[in-house]
Structure 1
Amino acid sequence: MKRDVPRRRQLTTEDYFVGVRDCDITVLPRALTLIESNNPEHQRQAETLLTRLLPYTGNAIRVGISGAPGAGKSTFIEALGLQLTAQGRRVAVLAVDPSSGISGGSILGDKTRMSRLAAEPNAYIRPSPSAGTLGGVASKTRESLLVCEAAGYEIVLVETVGVGQSETMVAEMTDCFLALMLPGAGDDLQGIKRGLLELVDVIAVNKADSATLKAAELAAHQYEMAIHSILGKQDHPPQVLTCSALHDQRVDAVWQAVQQRYTAMKSGGDLAAKRSRQQVRWLWAIIEDRMKQALRKHPGVRRIREGLESEVLAGSLPPEAAASKILQTFGMQEPCGI
């Protein structure tokens, strides 16, 4: 649906609210840009907008998708998204791209990588640069997820760059966490950690076709053995499947496994409890982020920062001592454990 809202004038909060609720594709991206802005005035307006939209959120299935570079995340998401939209489902994809160190913009451009899905009227793809955010998840991905839910999208897929702490970050904002793996577990299996297995709901070994089919099946078996060895007996251990996103094989089986986990959590009351815990973690993540911004913008800190950094680089001042001086300048009189 499209409202007659001029694109060039500044939109009011009411314009944003009605446009998002109508899923106006000329307003929705502007609302997400407002949410992502670091401009203080924009942030205040975004907070008001999110507060108004909050009663209309929470009805979507939130799925995080992570995996090492080359695992075929975008190919898988496009194949899955096309299946879901063919069923009449409305799908939003929040694809977090690696960022350019020069401009801070997205490097890969997921609308280009998912061109067929981007052309579907029931799908919306929002590429966002990670901009150096720890965990490969854009700092406003959580808020963007709520906006997409308020716009009526039934399924929200969050794709991360698959580096560092991305698994933890995506698991803390979604209902189900899907990890895509490559055939021939090898180094991936050697590096698998208990923490990852405790976070993941479904493991899908992608590229299970032609010459790599046997390797994918072997990798899936090895992951199942690792789950049994590391986690022991659990009521709901992670499911392990194989698929080929490129050839659209068993992608539906992977989605069925995700839906089964979601349904079990919802019927047992675990979903509501999980989302409540996420809300509290979200609260403190926002506080920490804004504290960092305030620290960097503090006039006193800005005056001494360059000099202290030079001393640390020269080796004449320990980082701990430099940190204490910065924090004391910021207003924390007592040294804190670093």
Structure 2
Amino acid sequence: MTRRVVSLLLVVATLAACSAADSDDDGDPAELPRSAAVTRLPGRVVDTLGVASFNVYRHLPRDEAMADALRLIGDRQVDVIGWQETRADYFPAVRRRLARQGWDTWQLWEPNGPFWLAVSWRRDQFELVDGSWTEVHGGAGKQQTDLPFPPRGYVVVTLRHRGSGRLLTVVDTHLNQGIETGDGFQDTANADRAKEHLRELADVWDAVPGDIVVGTGDFNFDFYDDYRARPDGGVWDTQHEHAASSYEILGLDGVEPTRGSRWIDYVWIADRTLRLRAKDPGSGQYVGHRSLDGYHSDHRPLVARIRWYER
């Protein structure tokens, strides 16, 4: 069965799940457990946001990286971006160019800081409240792994919505590469550290401030593989009941995978701020998502549109 057929089946299963939206049962792994409730729900809408996750690929030539960044911010459907692999010689120039285009960026640039991650936003829509970095695990060199990795963790950036005064918090992260087998984790230091990373990240969604809490990141574990196999310590196993990805809510139809076969770039909404039904206490509802093509990076940006309700 091709992944395209699988994608269509997942969407069908999503729509069928609407009739069981009030059930607490996680369902069969062959079906998506949540409904794709995209029609407008009761309540005042504060804004409809475009949240993008993009791994810029730090080995790109400067002109190609700059072109990618300008292409992404030129998309009027994008308001907030979580970047990965920003430890690159070209990224300070990208930040300066974004600033001239009306975008602000939080990135902690210091010798041992998380300059692998950054969050940008449209200045006319948001202002910075706070930003922080938490390291989950240290790095490893060639003596420990065939695929060396830097210290990994996550950034938390809280923004104030200028129109309403409400708070949007963005959690951006990047897991180690070379961690999955398709059905589970590889037996490597990379995978062991990634499982530690996922365990800690699960608690972050419940703890960070914000009227709406969203997430971005390169998880280096394919959504379909993880959802089908649900390995112990995997993305679904750890994040379920803490945060929901756009894939989980909307399925995979219309979202082209990175590198032709891997849905590894994620957008999230924390469960406590997620809204699927009229009675839900959350404020954020997925409206749609799409991957973008025409980029030089080896990743496709993933953009989720999120309706933000006043609750």
**TM-score grouping bracket, smaller chain normalisation:** 0.3 to 0.5
Give the structure, 1 or 2, with the largest relative contact order (CA under 8 Å, sep 6 or more): 2
Q: TM-score, normalised by structure 1?
A: 0.31
When Rg is computed on C-alpha atoms for both structures, the one with the higher figure is 1
